[in-house]
Structure 1
Amino acid sequence: MLSKLKFLLRYTHRYKWWYTGGFLFLGLTIWTSVTIPEYIQKSIDIISQGETGNREDFYNYVLIILGMALVLILIRTLSRVLIFVPGRLIEKQLKGEMFRKLSFFGKDYYDSNSTGSIISRINNDINGVRMITGFGLLQTGNILFSLSLTPYKMWNLSPALTLYCIAPMIIIFILVRIGMVIMVKNTHRRMDTLQQLSGKTISFLSGNGVIKSYNIHKWAEQEVEKENTSLFNYTLKITWVRSFIIPLLANLEQVLKIVVLFVGGMYVIEGKFTIGQLTEYIAYSALLTHPIMGLGWVLTVFQQGFVGISSIQTIMGRKGQDEDKKHLPVSNQRQLFDKGIHLRDLTYTYHNGEHPELKNISFSIKPGQVVGITGKVGSGKTTLINLLNGYLRPEKGQLYMGDKDVTDLTASDIRSVVKTVTQEVFLFSDTIKNNVIFGSEQAESTNDFTDVIYKSAFADELTRFPKQAETLVGEKGIMLSGGQKQRISLARALYAPCKLLILDDVFSAVDTDTERFLIKQIFENHPSESLVIVSNRTSVLEKTDFTVVLENGEIETIGNHKELLKRSDFYRETWELQK
Structure 2
Amino acid sequence: MANSNQQSSIKVYLRLLKYVVPYSGLFAISILGFLIFASTQPMFGYILKYFVDGLANPDASFFAAIPYLKDISFFVDLKLMHVVPLLIVLIALWQGIGSFLGNYFLARVSLGLVHDLRVSLFNNLLVLPNRYFDTHNSGHLISRISFNVTMVTGAATDAIKVVVREGMTVIFLFASLLWMNWKLTLVMLAILPLIGLMVTSASRKFRKQSKKIQVAMGDVTHVASETIQGYRVVRSFGGESYEQTRFLSASNSNREKQLRMTKTGAVYTPMLQLVIYSAMAVLMFLVLLMRGDASPGDLVAYITLAGLLPKPIRQLSEVSATVQKGLAGAESIFEQLDEDQEVDHGTEERARVSGRLEVRDLSFQYPGAEKPVLNNISFVADPGQMVALVGRSGSGKSTLASLIPRFYHHEHGQILLDGLDVEQYRLRNLRQHIALVTQHVTLFNDTVTNNIAYGDLAGAPFEDVRKASEAAYAAEFIEKLPEGYATLVGENGVLLSGGQRQRLAIARALLKNAPLLILDEATSALDTESERHIQGALDEVMKGRTTLVIAHRLSTIEKADLILVMDQGQIVERGTHSELLALNGYYARLHARDFVEVDDLVAEPDA
| TM-score, normalised relative to structure 2 | 0.83
Pairing partner for 2:171 from 108, 123, 148: 148
Say if 2:363 is the partner of 1:356: no
- Alignment-derived partner of residue 267 in structure 2: 244
- Alignment-derived partner of residue 513 in structure 2: 497
2: CA distance, partners of 1:320 / 1:568: 47
- Note the 1:342-381 alignment, pairs <5 A: 342-381=358-397
- Alignment-derived partner of residue 517 in structure 1: 533
Pairing partner for 2:351 from 309, 331, 334: 334
Deviation at 1:422, TM superposition (A): 0.4
Name the SS for the 1:371 alignment partner: strand
2: CA distance, partners of 1:527 / 1:280: 94
Supply the RMSD in Å over aligned alpha carbons. 3.4
Say if 2:15 is the partner of 1:10: yes
The answer to whether the Cα contact below 8 Å between 2:210 and 2:325 also exists between their aligned partners in 1 is yes
Q: Which runs of 5+ in 2 are unaligned?
A: 1-5, 63-76, 600-607
Name the SS for the 2:375 alignment partner: strand
- Alignment-derived partner of residue 110 in structure 1: 133
Say if 2:213 is the partner of 1:190: yes
Name the SS for the 2:369 alignment partner: coil
Q: Which amino acid aligns with 1:385?
A: A
The answer to whether the Cα contact below 8 Å between 1:456 and 1:490 also exists between their aligned partners in 2 is yes
Q: 1:127–1:346: structure 2 CA closer, same or farther, 3 Å change rule?
A: same
Q: Quick check: 305-314 or 259-268, which moved more?
A: 259-268
Q: Deviations over 1:125-172 (max 9, x none)?
A: 222221111101121222432232220111111224434555677666
Q: Quick check: 528-537 or 143-152, which moved more?
A: 528-537
Deviation at 1:307, TM superposition (A): 1.6
1: CA distance, partners of 2:462 / 2:370: 44
Q: 1:539–1:309: structure 2 CA closer, same or farther, 3 Å change rule?
A: same
- Note the 1:532-547 alignment, pairs <5 A: 532-547=548-563
2: CA distance, partners of 1:160 / 1:205: 67
Say if 2:38 is the partner of 1:30: yes
Name the SS for the 1:50 alignment partner: coil
Deviation at 1:421, TM superposition (A): 0.8
- Note the 1:17-56 alignment, pairs <5 A: 17-35=25-43, 37-39=45-47, 41-42=49-50, 45-46=53-54, 48-53=56-61, 56=78
The answer to whether the Cα contact below 8 Å between 1:179 and 1:245 also exists between their aligned partners in 2 is yes
1: CA distance, partners of 2:59 / 2:166: 41
Say if 2:483 is the partner of 1:482: no
Q: 1:174–1:573: structure 2 CA closer, same or farther, 3 Å change rule?
A: closer
- Alignment-derived partner of residue 438 in structure 1: 454
| TM-score, normalised relative to structure 1 | 0.86
Pairing partner for 1:272 from 281, 288, 294: 294
Q: How many residues align?
A: 572
Q: Deviations over 1:206-226 (max 9, x none)?
A: 344334344344333333333
2: CA distance, partners of 1:245 / 1:166: 20
The answer to whether the Cα contact below 8 Å between 1:359 and 1:553 also exists between their aligned partners in 2 is yes
1: CA distance, partners of 2:286 / 2:233: 73
2: CA distance, partners of 1:230 / 1:369: 56
2: CA distance, partners of 1:478 / 1:36: 64
Q: 1:546–1:313: structure 2 CA closer, same or farther, 3 Å change rule?
A: same
- Alignment-derived partner of residue 74 in structure 2: none
Q: Quick check: 302-311 or 171-180, which moved more?
A: 171-180
Pairing partner for 2:313 from 283, 292, 307: 292
Q: 1:52–1:209: structure 2 CA closer, same or farther, 3 Å change rule?
A: closer
Deviation at 1:563, TM superposition (A): 3.5
Q: Which amino acid aligns with 1:515?
A: E
Pairing partner for 1:555 from 571, 577, 588: 571
1: CA distance, partners of 2:460 / 2:526: 31
Q: 1:171–1:554: structure 2 CA closer, same or farther, 3 Å change rule?
A: closer
Q: Quick check: 389-398 or 354-363, which moved more?
A: 389-398
2: CA distance, partners of 1:379 / 1:111: 19
1: CA distance, partners of 2:542 / 2:419: 25
Q: 1:286–1:421: structure 2 CA closer, same or farther, 3 Å change rule?
A: farther
Deviation at 1:60, TM superposition (A): 5.0
- Note the 1:421-460 alignment, pairs <5 A: 421-441=437-457, 448-460=464-476
2: CA distance, partners of 1:333 / 1:70: 68
1: CA distance, partners of 2:304 / 2:394: 78
1: CA distance, partners of 2:307 / 2:591: 89
Say if 2:146 is the partner of 1:123: yes
Q: Quick check: 137-146 or 23-32, which moved more?
A: 23-32
Q: 1:504–1:339: structure 2 CA closer, same or farther, 3 Å change rule?
A: closer
Q: Which amino acid aligns with 2:58?
A: G
